Amino acid sequence: MDKPIKYELLHTDKYTGARRGRIHTPHGTIETPVFMPVGTNGTVKGLTKQNIIDVGSEIILGNAFHLFLRPGLEIMSEFQGLHKFMNWDKPILTDSGGFQVFSLRDRKITEEGVHFHSPLDGSKILITPEKSMEIQQIIGSDIAMAFDECVDTKNTEKKYFEESVDRTYRWALRSFESHTRTDQGLFGIVQGGLFEDLRQKSLEQITGIPFDGFALGGLAVGEKYQDSEKVLKIFGNRLPKDKPRYIMGIGSPTMMILSVENGMDMFDCVLPTRMGRHGTALTWKGKLNLKASKVKHDNSPIEENCNCYACQNHSRGYINHLLKREEILGKILISIHNLYFNISLVKEMRRAIENDEFINFKKKFFETSDYPLQN
């Protein structure tokens, strides 16, 4: 039987672990490295379907946890899944709900699964690996994620991480065994926090299951990017070469470049649109505060030579005015630009990899911008 997800490695940079590839899915081919906009509730916040297409997005994320709460599985079934519900005919990846459960205060973790109260109405809910698979199969994403436990890297002792790694493995086995949809890929998630021995153990456990791809989880939960980079450098290229590699929750320019340098293919984050809603634009020189008074007289676009809708049609001064008057259009325009920027950044990384020039690309990027990078 043909696998629903196939990874094609086109080229590896001669001097780094950076990979140029393609992921073939039931809803089309994804060029990698790829940045994936987050569509938590079946929408990339504030943007239309055409906006998402116009910025160059090849795949978006749906959030299994939130879609399970609302509109619920009955509605998802009636609409025959998320693709038809939101009228999106390109690939979709859904997370398992592990990270969302991690963020809840009243969660109780047992071997069976995670018990918590609905943030909508307070009702008691239990999500198990089997339930997560049921939810994601009804949603009908191209790529589903195994149910895992996401642990706070800063405030948890190693003993708990040891227990969590083994529990994540047992949950991964249960996820794999209960996943039956043949037109949907399933990825496993490597955990272990910042502990090298536990990361290695988790990697061996999870890659021992024949998933369609593998992710590094638990590296976007508040730790310093330098700590994430250490894990990336050690484990990025230890993941199987013949399957997609996904680092979860990464979307800053710094972390995207470090992720690609160390062999990762996929990453996602709410950062571009969240920053856009707060008035900050991402540019090739660094971050730009469009709420600042100094830009209210500025007739130039957010970024010169940018082909996004916002830069082609509106000035910094106009967007500053919209933000000051709390007009939603200002937030939408910056969100469009930020997504366009992130997607343009990965396209440039692809070109650099193809030409074995990734090191030069990275060097120039950090020399000409004020994004942080460890020396």
pLDDT tens for residues 276-286? Answer: 999 999 999 99
In the prediction, which pLDDT does 375 show?
Answer: 41
Distance CA 288, CA 240 (A): 38
Distance CA 206, CA 167 (A): 11
Left if phi > 0, otherwise alpha if psi is -120 to 50, otherwise beta: which for 286? left
Six-digit token pair at 75? 């509605």
* Of the candidate ranges 75-84, 133-142, 211-220, the one whose mean pLDDT is the lowest: 211-220
Six-digit token pair at 87? 């009228």
In the prediction, which pLDDT does 197 show?
Answer: 97
In the prediction, which pLDDT does 374 show?
Answer: 53
Domain range list for the chain: 6-269, 270-367
Distance CA 90, CA 103 (A): 29
Phi, psi angle pair for 124, to nearest 5°: -75, 135
Phi, psi angle pair for 140, to nearest 5°: 75, 30
Confidence check: pLDDT of 331 > 50: yes
In the prediction, which pLDDT does 153 show?
Answer: 76
**Omega of the bond prior to 372 within 30 degrees of 0, cis?**
no
- Determine whether domain 6-269 maps to CATH 3.20.20.105: yes
Distance CA 280, CA 219 (A): 23
Per the residue annotation, which of 95, 142, 148, 212 is the catalytic one? 95
In the prediction, which pLDDT does 221 show?
Answer: 75
- Between 141 and 150, residue with greater pLDDT: 141
Confidence check: pLDDT of 317 > 90: yes
Per the residue annotation, which of 142, 148, 265, 268 is the catalytic one? 268
Mean pLDDT of 104-120: 88
In the prediction, which pLDDT does 22 show?
Answer: 98
pLDDT tens, position by position, 170-202: 999 999 999 999 999 999 999 999 999 999 999
pLDDT mean across residues, the chain: 95
> Predicted confidence band at 155 (pLDDT cuts at 50, 70, 90)?
low
In the annotation, is 142 catalytic?
no
137 closest CA partner among 75, 180, 100 = 180
In the annotation, is 166 catalytic?
no
88 closest CA partner among 126, 61, 120 = 61
Q: Could you give the strand order of the β-sheet that contains 28-32, starting from the edge strand earlier in sequence? A: 6-12, 19-25, 28-32
> Predicted confidence band at 50 (pLDDT cuts at 50, 70, 90)?
very high
pTM for the whole structure? 0.96
